[in-house]
Amino acid sequence: MVNIASLKQRDKNEGIAERIEEKDVSLSVEDLSIYYGQNQAVKGISFEIEKNKVTALIGPSGCGKSTFLRSVNRMNDLIPIARSEGKIMYEDINILGKDINVVSLRKEIGMVFQKPNPFPKSIYNNITHALKYSGIKGKKNLDSVVEESLRKAALWDEVKDRLHESALSLSGGQQQRLCIARTLAMKPRILLLDEPSSALDPISNAKIEELIVNLKKEYTIVIVTHNMQQASRISDKTAFFLNGDLVEYAETDKIFTNPSVKKTEEYISGRFG
């Protein structure tokens, strides 16, 4: 079983970690195909996701965006008929390798879903729940991780006086920021966001967008969105998917002002999808 943390230690010993740190690439996708039984949902795509940038995945419904996103932290493992070919390299480790420790991978690469899904526990316990399994103990330590995570998720000021109330008493937008805080508490390097604000009101949406832009200083962010304005406002790079193919991948400004492929232009101008 390959444990990501131990690999990093090995890399550090061999001086590889420092060299990797200098690279701008966070994930390198190499000829990736994903199938559900006979249906090929992702068709041999290759691209590199850059560190400390926001990468938006856009495209019409059913084109493979979520399938790709889920494969990055091995959530597709939970679907018996799903299988993949090709590689997703993360710090010189193939995420799709059979010997990857998926639990440690998911700490490094956290995921937040479309619908806020806090545990039916207190705000505080939502954050500490998984920490206990990763060996962080003691009230002082836990308190400090709770505060740090909630601050990073821009939620601390709104909840600091009600940490022991149920997370379900929060608004939808606050619940989603709590889910982001819960993911940040695991100290990930990469955040995968699957339409994180599409179920929220415009003000909550604006808060999530502002949060994403702030978080990219510390994290690499990959976001699936159907909202073209959102992709153009917050992302640095945009990948346009269509029928499982990666049709175009470029700087967001280029995709939205001067795309190279006609299909991209048709999609972003609302002519289909």
Tell me which residues in 70-89 interact with ligand ATP (CB under 6 A). 79
97 belongs to the binding site for ligand ATP (CB under 6 A): no
Identified binder of ligand ATP from the candidate list 53, 65, 107, 216, rule CB under 6 A: 65
Q: Out of 4, 7, 32, 41, point to the residue binding ligand ATP (CB under 6 A).
A: 41
Q: For residues 5 and 79, which CB has a smaller minimum distance to ligand ATP in the complex?
A: 79
Q: How far apart are CA 179 and CA 202, in angstroms?
A: 18
Our finding on whether 196 is near ligand ATP (CB under 6 A) is no
**Nearest-CA neighbor of 26 among 4, 57, 50?**
50
Stretch binding ligand ATP (CB under 6 A), from 21-29, 56-64, 164-172, 207-215: 56-64
- Per-residue tokens: 94: 């193939």
Q: Which residue has the tokens 């510390």?
A: 218
DSSP element (H, E) containing 13 = helix 4-13
Q: Does 67 engage in binding with ligand ATP (CB under 6 A)? A: yes
What is the edge-to-edge ordering of all strands in the sheet holding 109-112?
109-112, 190-194, 220-224, 54-58, 237-242, 245-251
What 3-state DSSP class applies to 272?
Answer: coil
Give dist(CA 37, CA 231) in Å, integer: 31
193 is a site residue for ligand ATP (CB under 6 A): no
- Choices 8-16, 60-68, 175-183, 231-239; region in contact with ligand ATP by CB under 6 A: 60-68
State yes or no: residue 62 binds ligand ATP (CB under 6 A).
Answer: yes
Q: Which is nearer to ligand ATP, 77 or 218 (CB)?
A: 77
Residue 64 makes contact with ligand ATP by CB under 6 A: yes
Alpha-carbon gap, residue 190 to 212, rounded angstroms: 12
- Rounded to whole angstroms, the Cα distance separating 254 from 23 reads 23
Amino acid at 239: A
Residue of 59, 110, 116, 173 interacting with ligand ATP (CB under 6 A): 59
Q: Which residues neighbour 8 within 8 Å (Cβ) at sequence distance 6 or greater?
A: 17, 91
Q: Which is nearer to ligand ATP, 41 or 56 (CB)?
A: 41
Q: How far is the CB of 20 from ligand ATP (least distance, A)?
A: 29
Which of 62/97 has CB closer to ligand ATP?
A: 62
Residues that bind ligand ATP (CB under 6 A): 36, 39, 41, 59, 61-67, 79
